[in-house]
Amino acid sequence: MVSYERLNPEEVQFSSAALLDPPPDDSGDAEAKAEDLERPLLDQTPQCTVTVALLTLGGLIVVVFGVWLLGTVFWLRGPPSMETHKPPPPVAPSGQNKGWQGGPQPESCSLIPEAWRFDCYPERSVVVTEEMCHQRNCCFIQVSKAGSPEQNGVPWCFYPPDFPSYELAAISKTETGYSGKLIRLQKTYYPNDIETLQLDVLYESNSRLRVKVTDPAKQRYEVPIDVPVVKEKAPDPLYTVEFSKKPFGMVVKRKQNSAVLLNTTVAPLFYADQFLQMSSSLPSDFVYGLGEHRSNFLHDVQWNTLTMWARDAAPVELTNLYGVHPFYLLMEPNGLAHGSFLLNSNAMDVVLQPAPALTWRTIGGILDLYIFLGPDPGSVIGEYLEVVGKPAMPPYWALGYHLCRWGYDSSNNTWDVVRAMRNYGIPQDVQWNDIDYMDRALDFTIDPVKFSTLPDLVKDLHIHNQRYVMILDPGISSTQPAGSYLPFEEGIKQGIFINKSSGDTLIGKVWPGLTAFPDFSNPDTHEWWYQNLKKFHDKVPFDGLWIDMNEPSNFFDGSIDGCPSNDLENPPYTPGVLGGSLRAKTVCASARQKITSHYNLHNLFGLMEAKASASALKKILGKRPFVISRSTFPSQGVHSGHWLGDNRSKWKDLYMSIPGMLTFNLLGIPLVGADICGFSDTTTEELCVRWTQLGAFYPFTRNHNTKESKAQDPTVFSPAAQTAMKEALLLRYSLFPFLYTLFHHAHLSGQTVARPLFFEFPTDQKTYVIDKQFLWGKSLLVTPVLDPGVDYVVGYLPQGLWYDFYTGDSIVSKGEEVKLRAPLDKINVHLREGSIIPTQRPNTTLWVSSGQPLRLIVCLTEEGLAEGDLFWDDGEALDTYETDQYAYITFRLKESTMTSEVVHSHLEASYITVETVSFYGVKSTPTSVTVNSQEAAFNYAANQVLTVSDLGLNLNQNFVISWT
C-alpha cells in the first residue's frame, strides 16, 4: 500500500501586521484598521507569572481538547456542509515530537479523519510498515489490506498534529508587503533540511498575492521566465492573510466573504535541498488545470496524484505526459473562483485528497506561489496570464484546416492528397510533412529521391494561397561522416549541445540514431538554430514549424553511457514518473546545460525550443510565427500552440480531446487541438466524420495519423462522409471572423477561446462537471456526438434563451438537458441570447474566405438586446494591435435598432462588406426596416427570424439598421 503524496511549501502565503514586533497600537488610524483585518491565527498574549501561566495553559489545553473532541464527533456524524472546509486537527501537545518507535502512538492519531490524513511516506512501490512509519515519527493506521503498492488511497502513515515544522521567528514590513524569517529546530527524515528560510509576501495587485520562500544563505535555482516585478504594495487587496507563528502556517481569505482560499496549517512545511512540500485545504472539490494529464476536465480529489515531469508517452490516465503546468483553477461553492500557480520547474507531485486539500511536492528550486483572486473564472485566467504571458496572435491561416500524415512517403504522394482535396472542394489551408520528408531522419535535410519535388510542392501551395509546415526533432545526428553534416559539426564547435556531468557531449538516440541534444538555455543555440533554419528555408520555403520529441525524448534511459550515480539521478524522493526514474526515456538529470543542470531545466526544454523557433521564424519571414510544440510549460502560449499528442482512433479519445482542449485554454495556450480521427490505430468512417465535426471547433484543427494506419484524409471516404466533413469545415471557415476576434481577446487580455460552460454560468453547479460540451467565447455552444451509432445527442442548455445556429429556432431553458437531433451530417451549435456573431461566406482557403462578405447573426434577449464585436487586420503582420494597424468594430442592438461603430479604423476593413444581417428572436412582424434611414427590403419567417440582405455596407463605416 502506498502512502498518500504531499505537496511542497511553495504555496505558502503571508501577511499580517499583527505579527510585527511590537504589535500595532489601537490608534484608530486607517492603516491600523486595514491591518486589523489580517489578525494572526495565534494572538500574542501579555506576560504573566510562571504559576499563572502554567495553570492557565493547562486549563486551556483541557478545555480546547474537550471542545475539539466533541466537535469532531459531531462533524464526523453530521451531513456534509457547503461551507468552506476547515480541517479538524487535534490540539498539538506542547514540546517537540520525540517519536514513539516500538511504543503506543498518541491517541490524537486516531482522531484525525481519514480525509485529513497527509501522507508521511509518499515513496512509490513501498509497502509501509508500522516500524517504517514510526521511524519517521508519524502516525500509522492500516486502513485496508486491499490494493497494491501502485494504488493511491488513504495513507497508512500520516503526520501527527505535533510533527515538527518551521517557526515564524520574525516578520517586518516592506514596500511590497512583508518579509519574514522561518526557522526549523528539528530535522526531518529527508536529508539537507534548510534550517533558516526567508519569507517574502508580496501584495502584487489587488487580486494577486505572491509568496516566495527562499534560502537566505545560498542562491537556489529559480525558473528563468520573465514575471512582473512589483515595487509597491497593492492599495486595496481582495484578500487578507493570517499567520501562525509556531508551527508556521498561513491562511489567505477572500475579504468579500471570508472564504479560506489557502490554509497551510493543515500539515507541516518541508524545505530540504531536494524535497519541498506544502499542503493546503481547499474550499471545494472543483479543481481544474494542473496539466498535462489525460483525465476528465474536473479533477478527481479522491486521493489523486498528478505527477509533473515532461515525458514522451502516448496519452493514458495516471501518467505524466508531455507538458508541465502547476496551475489550478478552483470554483468555490458560491460561484466565485480563484487560482494558484507554483512557479517551479522541477519534478513534482501534486496530490488531491477528499478533505478537500492539495499538496505540492517538488524536488528542487524554491517555493514561489501565486494566488489569483478572480473573482470570476475568466478573470483568474487573465490574472495568471499577466504573470506568465498572454498568448501570441496567430497568423490567420493557422485557424484553417491542416492535413498531415506520417507515411506519405514522398512529396508526390503528398501533392496528390493536396490536389484531391482541391478537386473535392474541401477546405484546406495547410499541408504538413512528418519525418519521412527527411534524409535518414536528419534535421534540415530532405530525402533526395522520394522528396525531390518538395520545393515545387511548396511553391504550388503558395500559388494556391496555402501554407506548408514541417516537423523538426531536437535530436541532432552525431554519427555522420566528417564534413557531411554541418548542424552537428558546427554545434560541437560552438558548444551548444547538452553535456554529461563530466563535460563531454551527451549522446542519446532518437530517429536518426545516435544524437546530441541542443541546449536551448544557451543563447548561442538560438543563433545556431536560426542559421540552420534559414539555410533550410532557402531550399524549402516553409511557413511554420512543428517541434516534436522535445521533452526531450530519448530512446535510451539517460545516454548511451547511462548516467552517473549521484543525488541528481537518485534524489531522496522521486515523484511518480513513468519508468520510475528521472532519466527514463530522456537525458540524464545530472546533464549540464548553460545555466544549470537538466534536473532543473528538463521541463523547460519544449518552451525554450519554442522560443528559439518563434524568434527564428520572425527573422526569416518577417511575419507572425506559427509553431506547434508537443512539450509545454507556463508562458508557452507566448511562443507556440500545442497539439494533444499521440492519441488513438477510439471513441474515448474523441471525448478526451475536449477536456484536453479546455485545460490548455486555462493554461494560456488557446491554439490547441487533438489529431482529428486519431493518430494511431485505424479509424472508422463514422468516427472520422464525428471527429471532423468536433475538430472543426478545435481552435487548432489538424487531421494527422501514423504510417501504420490507413489514410484518413477526407477524400478517402464515401461521398456521403466527404460531404459531411466538407460541410463541417465550411462551417468553421464561415465562423472565421468570430474565431479570429476571440484570439484577439486572448492575446490582448488573456481570455479563453474555447471555454467550459461554467465560465459563463458560474452559479450553475450543474455546469461544473460538463466536459462533453464547450463554448467558443461566451456565446457559441457546441454539442458534439461522442458515441457510435446514434442520431441524437443529449446536451445541457444553461438557463436562458438559446438559438439554433442554422435555423434561428429558439429554445427557452430553465437549465436542463435537451435531446437534440444529430444525423451523421450535423453537429449541434447554439447561440446564446444577447450575442452578435460575425460570420463570412466560406471558401476553400481562408485567404479567399477572408475577402468574402460578412453575415451578422444577432441573437435577441427577451428584452431585445444584443452586442458583439469584430477585430480585423491583414492577418499576418507582426504586432498589428501594438502598432495600431487594425480595425475594431462593435455592434449593439437596443430598442429594435442595431448600430455598428468603428472604434478603430484601418484600410483592411474597407475591403469587407456586410451583406446580410439576421435577427433571431424578433417577436412580431416588422412593418418596415431602414438601413441608414433608407427603406430596405426584408424577410420575416415564422420562427421569428428577420433577415435583411443585399446590404453592401462598408465594414469601415458606421451604419444603423432599425425596424418598426
Q: Give 825-834 pLDDT, tens digit per residue.
A: 999 999 999 9
Cell digits of residue 107: 491517541
Cell of 640: 507556440
* Closest alpha carbon to 582 in 560, 566, 561, 606: 566
pLDDT at residue 98 in the model: 42
Residue type, 414: T
> Across the beta sheet with 934-936, what order do the strands follow?
866-872, 887-894, 897-904, 959-963, 929-931, 934-936
Q: Would you state the pLDDT for residue 25?
A: 36
DSSP 170-225: EEEE-SSEEEEEEE-SS--SSSSB--EEEEEEEEEETTEEEEEEE-TTSPPP---S
Please answer whether residues 920 and 913 qualify as being in contact, where contact means their C-beta atoms are separated by less than 8 angstroms: no
The answer as to CATH 3.40.50.150 being correct for domain 167-386 is: no
> Could you tell me which CATH number the domain at 747-963 has?
2.60.40.1180
Asked if residue 681 lies in contact with residue 381, where contact means CB atoms within 8 angstroms, the answer is no
Positive or negative: CA dihedral 790, 672, 378, 322 = positive
Name the residues annotated as catalytic.
Answer: 548, 551
| 254-260-263-265 Cα dihedral, nearest 10 degrees | 120
**Cβ within 8 Å of residue 595, ≥6 positions away:** 224, 521, 522, 601
Taken in order 901, 904, 910, 912, is the CA torsion positive or negative?
Answer: negative
For the chain, the first-to-last Cα distance in angstroms comes to 74
* Residue for grid cell 476547515: 86
Residue 673 is predicted with a pLDDT of: 98
Q: In terms of residues, how long is the chain? A: 964
- Is the distance from CB of 729 to CB of 713 less than 8 angstroms? no
Residues of the chain short of pLDDT 70, as ranges, are: 1-104, 145-152
Rounded distance, CA 455 to CA 471, Å? 15
- The DSSP code sequence of 624-661 is ---EEESS--TTGGGT-EEE--S-BSSHHHHHHHHHHH
For CATH 2.60.40.1180, the residue range(s) in the chain are 747-963
pLDDT value of residue 104 = 64
Specify the pairing of strand 467-472 against strand 430-433.
parallel
Q: Phi and psi at residue 372, in whole multiples of 5°? A: -115, 125
**CA nearest 444: which of 529, 359, 567, 342?**
529
Amino acid at site 535: K
Check: CB of residue 729 under 8 Å from CB of residue 743: no
Q: What are phi and psi of 211, to 5 degrees?
A: -130, 125
Report the pLDDT value the prediction gives residue 36, as an integer from 0 to 100.
37
pLDDT number for residue 151: 52
Q: What kind of fold does domain 106-162 have according to CATH?
A: Spasmolytic Protein; domain 1 (4.10.110)
> Boundaries of CATH 2.60.40.1760 in the chain?
167-386
Closest of 118, 199, 847, 735 to residue 465, by C-alpha? 847
- Taking every pair of C-alpha atoms in the chain, what is the biggest distance, in angstroms? 96
Q: How far is CA 951 from the centre of its chain?
A: 43
- What are the cell numbers at 517? 541534444
Location of C-alpha cell 508531455 = 322
CA distance 474 to 492: 15
The whole-angstrom separation of Cα 215 and Cα 850 is: 55
pLDDT of residue 14: 29
Q: What is the pLDDT of residue 106?
A: 83
pLDDT at 143: 85
Per-residue confidence (pLDDT) for residue 105, from 0 to 100: 81
d(CA 926, CA 860): 15
* Predicted structure pTM score: 0.90
Residues with Cβ < 8 Å from 402, sequence gap 6 or more?
A: 428, 429, 430, 431, 432, 469, 700, 701, 702, 703, 704
Residue 55 DSSP symbol: H
Amino acid at 678: G
Residue ranges matching CATH 4.10.110.10 in the chain = 106-162
